[in-house]
Structure formats: C-alpha cells, structure tokens
A and B are shown apart, each in its own frame.
Chain A
C-alpha cells in the first residue's frame, strides 16, 4: 500500500510531529516500503481467531480505593520544562502549577 505526501502530512499532524515539507516525500517512500512488507500478513486466514492484546492471562488486579501517596508537589513539578509556580515558595509541597503558553484569550 503506497502512502502519498498528503497522507504522511495528515499522520504527522495527528501525531503532533512537525515534519519539514522536504522530508514528507522521502518519508512517504519509507513508510510505503514498510507497509508493503507488512502486507504479507494478508496471506494468513484469521477468521474466527481472537485477537491477543496481552500475554499476561491474569485478570487485572484491583486494590483498595485508598490514597497511597501525596504531598509530593515539589517532586511532581521538579522537571517542569517551563519552570513551576508554587503556591507557597517556603513549602513547595503545598502545591503548585506547571506553566504553559496562554491557551485562552
């Protein structure tokens, strides 16, 4: 299955990846090659075969609905790329905010 430039641009937009225009055509070629190779899966008859989403056949465990941590705002915000704003700079674990570009005018 061949992917064209426009399809690649659409996938890039869906994936929130900035791809420069000049890279779209080569990328379309590479992805088309990969999908052409993947096409061989169509040789396999999979009617009535259940999909396997995970190999761990255990039922997902439940735990008690209790708070198990908290009070670690300083740790949560430690790697904030735009810097963090704390409610109380003398007690960073009291809470704070990530900073992001203005979203609402």
Chain B
C-alpha cells in the first residue's frame, strides 16, 4: 500500500473501512508530516494530542459500526474558525491567546462526520490578503519552487496555510474561507483543488467575520471528489446564521464522480482576456476549453460587461463591512488590551497595536467610505455596481451552464514581490472577485505547470446553488488535465 499520507480522502476512507489502517495510525502518519515540514509555517497552532484523542474516538465509533462520511480523516482548519478550547487568532495580534468557548458550525459538522483535527492553519490577518504575508505569525512558504530557483514563493491567500498543508501532503484536506478569492487563488498557487460554495451554502456562524455579505467557508483537497466529500460534510442550513440557505444538501460526491458533460454549455467570458495576464495562463485557458470540448461540452462565448468594475467595487464593499465587523475589537471583552489614560485612548492604543498594516488600511478605507457625506458616492455606488455584476452573470447563465476562466492572473510569486503598492496585490483577485460579488460558487482545478514548473489553476463558476453541475465539469476537467505533478521534496 502507498504511504498513508499519499492517499486521498476517498482512498483513506476505503483503507480505514477495510481495516488496513486505524484512524490513530492515519493521524500519526500525518502528524509526522507536520513535524517534517514545520518550516513552511503552515500552522499557527498544532493540536497533536487532540488529533490522537479524536482519532481514538473515531476508531471506537468505527468498531461499533457508526462510521460517518469523513470517519478518521485528518483535517487542518483555517485559524479563522472558532474551535472550542483551542486558540483561534485570525492571524492577528489582537486575538492572540483568544480561546473560544464554542465551536463553529462548519467544524462541528466536520467532527460529527468523524473528521480529526490536526491543527489550525496560518492565514493573512483577518483573511485580508492574497499572499499570506500579512499574518502576525509570519508568512507561509509555498511547497512549490521555480525550477532552478531556490527563492521562497508565497502560497497565495488568505487561506495560504490551509492550501500549503494540503499541497505538502501534511493533510489530505483542509478548510478555508473565501471572501474575494481566498480559497481559489491559493489553490491555484499550490496546485490543489479549492472550492468556494454558493454564499449561504455553509454556515458562517463561529467564523471570524471579515465582510459578512461575501464571506463563505469552503474546502481544499487534492481531488475534485475529495473537495465534494468535504463540502458535503461542511454544508447545511444553520438557524444560527440568518443568511444560511434553508436547503437540503445534495449528494455532491456523486456529482463529482460523474464527469459526464456531454452537451454541457461552457461559457467563456470575453472580458476575462485582460492585459497583465500571463500568456501561459491564456494558453492554458484555451487548452482547458479544448479539453472540455473533447469531453463533449459546447463552448459558448459570453459577455460579462461589468467585470473590470468588480475589483474596485469590492474594495469599497469589503472594507466597509470590515470596518464595521472589526469595531468589536476594542479591548473590553476579549483579545488584546493596551491601557490608555482614559477609555478612548485604551480603544485607540489597543486597535493601533493589535491590528497590522493591511487591516488598519482596510478599516480606514471602510470608515472613510461610510463616513458622513461619502456614503452615496462610494458605498451606494459600489452596491449598484454589484447589482450590475450579478445581472451580468444571470444573463450569461441564460446561455450557458457553467463558466470557465483562469483562477489567477499569474502563478505563485516570491515573498516580497508585489508588496510596493496595495493595488498591485489586489489585482491578484481580478478573476475570483466577480463571482464573489454575485455570491456564486467557484472551484479552482489544477490544470498544468508553467515554464518554471509552477502549478496553474482554472476556475469554473456555477449557478447559485448548482455546485453539482460545477463539480461535474470540474471532474471532467480534472480527468482531462490529469495533473499529477508534486512539489519537489514532498
């Protein structure tokens, strides 16, 4: 049998069911990988003791014939999900040492289905970033490197630790959250699958809030089928999140096991051909379309005219919601407190010292656009543009069933590149943000390597609450692309 850490979630599930390995053995094998690759800085908190206890409990359940969907599967959890009794930091100094007294709904669902937590992964501070460089706990290293170049590359962000942990075979799956691309872009940079569900599919309860109208939890895995299995366990209606959709959870795994896309109409948005995209990514996009066509799909050119405005509109909406959400960090009830001569100064000192540069910048953008006299010019304008973006997508979906686009305009870049100017960093999310603004599901599938040997992903975007069609197309793309490259040394 192959090494336990090489197996996918589906394969591990089969091995555990056949008693070829115990959950404790599976946990130990993965914990050894956490030890081996600690230098990547993918984890903020490792929880080996908890992992072994959860694995032992999983073996006991299996012995009683009570195995769940993810029974005995080790997972890494983005450190934005509150985990009862385990420090949850959002990669911010202001939450350092915060120990939640409750468990998020998504992680509760995962543990109910038998999964085992090995630790909490690193991220951009409060999920604000596209490189994982804004973490208070230091950047994460991408396990991939350019051929003949030893420079450390970023794993993307914000869910960089979760993506790197899966790419480095430390875990077969992990959770992320996606506000503007924070699952799909790191999945592309790390050569793995990342799925952002429809807004409302997974509960946001117990997830540290960034921009509430955009935030959505989702999975990372090495195969489309595994991502579907994780989503299956994570999703479901939750009365504790008022925006959680009161819908039954479809059989996502069955959709992912059915790559039949004969007659499926795949939309190619012409506005996604933009300057600044690497020619290799353009070529890969064309190849991806050819692969889907060869599998029986019908390409359809479509237009999303407001695409270029999605990014600047996002940089009003997301900071506005962030400035409001992050008002709770005032040093009174939890988190850091830095004393001052009076209450007002305590607030200012606490927030000045507790938040990093990018978070402060976004709070200030948000405060400004919501301040008296500017609301209509900025926030209302951005929400009107959001309407137009959503309308573009609904018109496009009258002509096609799923969209195919690049996930990111470039492959992974080196730590320190693109750091001079915030707007340059923001452009990383140009292909993922439009679907976020419309609340649509998206998935990044690794589709090839560039000339430097770095992985590149393609994105499929589905109709709202039609992850199944998107998963079928993703499975077809995965099968045709047959991506089996591994980062050297992992």
Contact = CB atoms under 8 A, between A and B. Distances in A.
A101 B312 CA distance: 41
Interface stretch (B11-19, B118-126, B379-387): B379-387
B208 to A, nearest CB: 13
A25 interface: no
B86 to A, nearest CB: 13
Given A44-B309, A55-B213, A17 B361 contact: no
Contacts of B365: 31, 34
A41 B348 contact: no
A38 B315 contact: yes
Interface in A48-105: 49-56, 58, 60-61, 63, 72, 75-76, 78-82, 98, 100-101, 103
A63 B241 CA distance: 12
A33 B426 CA distance: 12
B309 A41 contact: yes
A11 B385 CA distance: 25
Contacts of A6: none
B35 to A, nearest CB: 30
A50 B463 CA distance: 22
Contact of B343 (A18, A30, A103): A103
Contacts of A46: 381, 384-385, 388
Nearest to A84: B333
B390 to A, nearest CB: 6
A60 B243 CA distance: 7
A57 to B, nearest CB: 9
Nearest to B372: A14
Contact of B344 (A16, A53, A55): A16
A44 B315 contact: no
Contacts of B385: 41, 44, 46
B323 A15 contact: yes
Given A52-B387, A55-B390, A81-B337, A31 B352 contact: no
Contact of A81 (B200, B313, B327, B331): B331
B344 A41 contact: no
A12 B309 CA distance: 27
Contact of B371 (A11, A80, A82): A11
A11 B336 CA distance: 22
A40 B312 contact: yes
A100 B334 CA distance: 12
B387 A50 contact: yes
Contacts of B337: 81-82
Interface string A2-16: 010001100111111
Contact of B364 (A31, A38, A43, A80): A31
Given A56-B245, A61-B246, A103-B343, A51 B387 contact: yes
Interface string B258-283: 00000000000000000000000000
A101 B348 CA distance: 14
Contacts of B343: 100-101, 103
Interface string B374-397: 000010111111111010000000
A51 B380 CA distance: 6
Contacts of A82: 332, 337
B250 interface: no
Contact of A58 (B245, B308, B368, B388): B245
B364 A15 contact: yes
A18 B331 CA distance: 14
B342 A34 contact: no
Contacts of A58: 200, 243, 245-246
A4 B332 CA distance: 32
B364 A12 contact: yes
Contacts of A3: 368
A40 to B, nearest CB: 6
Nearest to A81: B337
A72 B316 CA distance: 38
A8 B309 contact: no
A55 B439 contact: yes
A56 B200 contact: yes
B423 interface: yes
B313 A41 contact: yes
Interface stretch (B52-60, B98-106, B130-138): B98-106
A31 to B, nearest CB: 7
Interface of A: 3, 7-8, 11-19, 27, 30-31, 33-34, 37-38, 40-44, 46, 49-56, 58, 60-61, 63, 72, 75-76, 78-82, 98, 100-101, 103
13 contacts: A11-B367, A34-B365, A37-B312, A37-B423, A41-B316, A51-B386, A52-B387, A53-B213, A55-B439, A56-B200, A56-B439, A58-B246, A80-B333
Interface of B: 98-99, 101-102, 199-200, 213, 239, 242-243, 245-246, 306, 308-309, 312-313, 315-316, 323, 327, 330-337, 339-340, 342-344, 346-349, 351-353, 355, 360-361, 363-365, 367-368, 371, 378, 380-388, 390, 421-423, 438-439, 464
Given A56-B200, A61-B239, 13 more contacts: A7-B368, A15-B363, A18-B351, A31-B365, A37-B315, A46-B384, A49-B384, A56-B243, A56-B245, A79-B99, A79-B334, A98-B333, A101-B340
